[in-house]
Structure 1
């Protein structure tokens, strides 16, 4: 335990109680706006993961048999509690992430409670094949059941929202959960778990904090029947490999490298403003961020200029500054990654705006990075093929629709994409041929609870949000009865 009594001390949430790690060990949680330690969180080990899974397994015996109505009512109460404690939740989320206070309150909290309300309703309308006599003298029907105990791992870019994307459908379907948040952003996950304890039986939702080793323990444990992770491709592959040894179900939402295809007939100014916002929001730390632009030959130069002007106008800064669009990168490793990507630019590429750490509060405080625009990159360059995950937008010039499509699909990711054009037929062709789980037309990055989010290829498999997301947390059982005839 750190000696500084001013530090916030977090605890695990296990079996309805707030508990320290069995060893008593903690680790430091850092404020990314300053780089200073502000909290201590449990450094959970095998005993803590065992305890959490035991609580979840015991709770499943009753929670898995509750009616959809009961589960729905619990989720609705959680949604109301999120709204009622919005200011407190925002303050905790901002301290962990450095995000702007106003944007976090307006853009993340309303969807968070809405997701709970959606899945509260979805729990009561699960569908299956109609019962009937598919074999003479026998009646068959389908049972859609919860999977059981689920292990979940969430990332640091949207710690609160990604937790909700995972736990809301899992709980709605009747599963119990053990969740590990990112080690750099555990506070809002612990707070939300505390809030949920008022409305859920003990052990239905458990949160243990810790590093990657804790995550490995969570994934490889014998108890869960399913593991779900939102994170990097590397982490997803490791989870899938570990789960395969025990034939656990796996739900993966991994990285992205979203192509943003701007055709010559697009509204250039409107597109530049919208794409800059969708590319720099949350410091570009979003697997769907609009950071890989493909621009038509006639507008390319003007579009680079328009994006450059946007980059020079938009601001990064401290959370309480109402004029900033985004805050710092999450941690020093991410700052080094983004800086390295820009520093290693090939000779044929250009930095049109930004390209270095941002001067905030009169110095290089925290992990802030300037809004950046890069041009002249080629399809096989590292900055095009790899996820930068920072406030860096690249722009490539394509010659025709076929080349735009080939370049758009020419990466290992397949999460999200967008097309900007006034040509309806072209937009439909592109939406058909783009190899991505989400295609936006003349917009980029909006989400709604009713529509699925999830990717292809190295972006993983499984869906978040929507009825498809709920179905991912269920299993299908066929029941057949002999009718005693003949």
Structure 2
């Protein structure tokens, strides 16, 4: 019988008031593995009440105390590594090894970074900017924050949210995706061993529950990683309460490949970066723009590399990437592949994996698309790479920037000047040179345009969760 999940509020698991439920399905075999509640207004109110009460204590904690808590949380993740991997694998179908390395181990590193960042926030020097009056800056937590995380990297995205918020001294009410809640609940349980009750609360539910969080009068800030549509809804609802928002939304990342690049290496890397996690990554390579003189050769190299990629097995150790996360998303990606325009060519892939019970799609390379085609302009969020040609550096930049998204991009060339000019001109929050996707805790991650605003990772993300107060003292008694 499938386990019935509970909310985590004020340091303990509690049954939801909401009577409706959601089946949590393992996308490898489409079998139900758990049942989650759809939390209602009473559940959300209880979570925020706990966060408000805890804020009175947590906002007074010293940076050193917050550092210790985050370091202890990182150690807790290390101790429960196998459990976290299993919990997430049940919900996402991702290969277990990838969850362990890319989310648990990386999440531990993120938390260690945020532990140090808790003690490094800065402001202007205290001095007399006006005669006989001393001014200084207080950097304070914003208070209680509402956070919503997606299903593509459930644990990693939760850590990216809670790490900087906790480092800055905030308390949290977090809603994980309705399809992937289990690793987040285990994270909350581990956090309950090192944080005061009510500092981190997790409520389960659907989009309606998320709206209850973002529309609630308590949170001073709302942070979401999700679709553009979800981000727009959050921004609209937050505007009524003049809440601060942090939006990490979609992407349509180009990889610009010049003729002087190491083409064999670029093809191998780009297929890997484009199909990793089944392409369910806002920074994943989705559009390859290759110089026309090597276009045909590079398409052949991409096809050869794509054919080496394995997926579709019920044994995740045999997969280079796992299934799409849920039936609705699987149907959406399949529909896009079924409606490829007639002027385009499916070089390889282009359909679901035959014989699989789960939501697997073949690694796909498509050439011949035009700039205004939906597969070029709209986020696919699947293992699908499109290839277009360009003749000049200027055209490459123009085609790259001519999409609504602006999160990530990459340049592939052996010429230093080309790399410098193109990385300057690409209108994306991150530009990689001769690599793609790789992230480090010390550097910011976030985009422009329809990809949202605000930064994850780095000290910039901690600053997102703070407010600045000017205090002035008269020196006259």
Alpha carbon RMSD of aligned pairs, Å? 1.0
CA drift at 1:341: 1.4
CA drift at 1:34: 1.1
Q: Which residue of 2 aligns with 1:396?
A: 388
For residues 183-262 of structure 1, what are the structure 2 equivalents within 5 Å?
Answer: 183-262=178-257
Measure, in 2, the Cα distance between the counterparts of 1:479 and 1:186. Answer: 42
Measure, in 2, the Cα distance between the counterparts of 1:73 and 1:319. Answer: 41
C-alpha contact (below 8 Å) 1:254/1:287 kept by paired residues: yes
Q: Which residue of 1 aligns with 2:71?
A: 76
Q: Does 1:478 align with 2:470?
A: yes
CA drift at 1:216: 0.3
C-alpha contact (below 8 Å) 1:240/1:250 kept by paired residues: yes
CA drift at 1:24: 4.5
C-alpha contact (below 8 Å) 1:99/1:319 kept by paired residues: no
Give the TM-score normalised by structure 1.
0.97
C-alpha contact (below 8 Å) 2:59/2:169 kept by paired residues: yes
Q: Which residue of 2 aligns with 1:3?
A: none
CA drift at 1:131: 1.0
Measure, in 2, the Cα distance between the counterparts of 1:289 and 1:322. Answer: 22
Of 419, 439, 443, which aligns to 2:435? 443
Aligned residues: 477
> Which consecutive residues of structure 1, in runs of 5 or more, have no partner in the other structure?
1-5
Q: Does 1:293 align with 2:293?
A: no
C-alpha contact (below 8 Å) 2:29/2:314 kept by paired residues: no
Of 102, 119, 132, which aligns to 1:137? 132
Of 154, 158, 178, which aligns to 2:173? 178
CA drift at 1:478: 0.4
C-alpha contact (below 8 Å) 1:100/1:319 kept by paired residues: no
Q: Does 1:469 align with 2:453?
A: no
For residues 282-431 of structure 1, what are the structure 2 equivalents within 5 Å?
Answer: 282-318=277-313, 320-359=315-354, 363-431=355-423
1:402-428 CA-partner distances (Å, limit 9, x unpaired): 110000000010100000001101101
Q: Secondary structure at the match of 2:318?
A: coil
Measure, in 2, the Cα distance between the counterparts of 1:317 and 1:113. Answer: 30
Q: Does 1:457 align with 2:452?
A: no
1:76-102 CA-partner distances (Å, limit 9, x unpaired): 001011011111100111111000112
Give the TM-score normalised by structure 2.
0.99
Q: 1:93–1:319: structure 2 CA closer, same or farther, 3 Å change rule?
A: farther
C-alpha contact (below 8 Å) 2:371/2:399 kept by paired residues: yes
CA drift at 1:319: 6.5
Q: Does 1:35 align with 2:30?
A: yes
Q: Secondary structure at the match of 2:252?
A: coil
CA drift at 1:8: 1.9
Q: Secondary structure at the match of 1:451?
A: coil
Measure, in 2, the Cα distance between the counterparts of 1:70 and 1:318. Answer: 46
Deviates further, 107-116 or 465-474: 107-116
Of 41, 47, 52, which aligns to 1:52? 47
1:254-290 CA-partner distances (Å, limit 9, x unpaired): 0000010000100000001111110000000000001
C-alpha contact (below 8 Å) 1:59/1:176 kept by paired residues: yes
Measure, in 1, the Cα distance between the counterparts of 2:316 and 2:50. Answer: 43
Q: Does 1:121 align with 2:98?
A: no
Q: Secondary structure at the match of 2:385?
A: strand
CA drift at 1:110: 1.2
